[in-house]
Amino acid sequence: MSINNHFISGLGRKTLLHKGRSQLPRLIVIHYSVTNTVAEAAMALNHEKLSYHILIEKDGTAFQTRGFNETAAHPGLSNWKSEKDIGLGNSVAQGSVGICLMNKGYAYDKTLPQSASAPGKLIYNPNDQSMQRWEKYPQAQINACHQIASDVIAAYPITEVVGHHDVAIMGKFDPGPLYDFSPLNALLPSPKLLGLKTTVDSKDGFLNLREEPNAQSTVLQNLANGAPVHVRSVTYGSRVACIQPSPAKRKRYLTAWASVSLGDDNQHAGFVHMGGLKSTPLTPTLAAFL
Ligand SMILES: [Zn+2]
């Protein structure tokens, strides 16, 4: 398929209430819908004034809701490998394409008998620290997603394909453990972009790398002063955990915790408190609260 005037030729259209602004896409963000059908998803999206660029049924039938040069309201509060200026209320909506696959996620489990023959795959969810039965993505749906994403990669300066979970790392585990990013990553330049490169600079002489973004969480490793880290994503959390009060209508707040990779492998290694880093991607106003 080809992209003409920011629409994929031959794809069905679906109109959503949310209207975006103009953009140049650099990132593809994959999601699951928590619904079974595009009709259900469209109803929920219109109710919340949210949107994705692409909605894909389980049988692979896909719909485009807007041109790729228009933003969609899909990632919420989020950030990704920013060099600077992560502030309250930021979002990677600007500069990204949202693709949503119809899939119930692990909620699927609740309606199923707990037997070995039940559909879906039983898998450990580190976010919820429990075993959950995840709905599998049918091959026809995956094929449609790969076709659309590769068209987008061919037409725009896309640097990465990520999950919603990567850019909003304390949000829902989205698109979940059964989505395989490797076929699309293979189409992209390698190595991938790294996050803000900085070093550990703590008055204790070391910084704890933790499993979760809080001071009570398990310590995975001690990072000595001078050790290099790459900040991938800064987490949002409850008001209690935030580093500065923000407008009361926000449900989540920017915290002092960042997901980092160690060295150049570009993988999430754990969370660190940014007070022990030499520099952060936060705006100076926010960085002063660390
Ligand atoms: Zn999502």
- Provide mean pLDDT across the span 215-235: 95
Among 212, 230, 228, residue whose Cα is nearest residue 220: 212
H helix count then E strand count, the chain = 5, 16
Ligand 1 centroid from CA 175, angstroms: 7
CA distance 156 to 99: 15
- The CATH number linked to 68 is 3.40.80.10
Local confidence band at 113 (pLDDT 50, 70, 90 cut-offs): very low
Domain boundary among 159, 185, 211: 185
pLDDT tens digit string along 151-180?
A: 999 999 999 999 999 999 877 789 988 999
The total of structural domains in the chain comes to: 2
pLDDT tens digit string along 269-279?
A: 999 999 999 99
Local confidence band at 253 (pLDDT 50, 70, 90 cut-offs): confident
Mean pLDDT (the chain, rounded): 89
Ligand 1 centroid from CA 129, angstroms: 20
Residues 93 and 135 in one domain: yes
CA distance 60 to 11: 11
* pLDDT at 112 exceeding the cut of 50: no
- Residue 103 structural domain: 3-185
Q: Partners of 197 in the beta sheet? A: 230
pLDDT tens digit string along 133-154?
A: 788 999 999 999 999 999 999 9
What is residue 128's predicted lDDT score, i.e. its pLDDT?
66
Residues 40 and 64 in one domain: yes
CA distance 51 to 93: 10
User: What dihedral do alpha carbons 256, 130, 123, 168 form, nearest 10°?
Assistant: -20
Ligand 1 centroid from CA 223, angstroms: 32
* pLDDT at 238 exceeding the cut of 50: yes
CA distance 148 to 100: 11
Local confidence band at 118 (pLDDT 50, 70, 90 cut-offs): low
Ligand 1 centroid from CA 98, angstroms: 8
What is residue 164's predicted lDDT score, i.e. its pLDDT?
96
What is residue 275's predicted lDDT score, i.e. its pLDDT?
95
DSSP secondary structure code for residue 104 in this structure: -
Whether residue 53 contacts residue 45, with contact meaning beta carbons closer than 8 Å, is answered with no
Residues 122 and 44 in one domain: yes
Q: 96: helix, coil or strand? A: strand
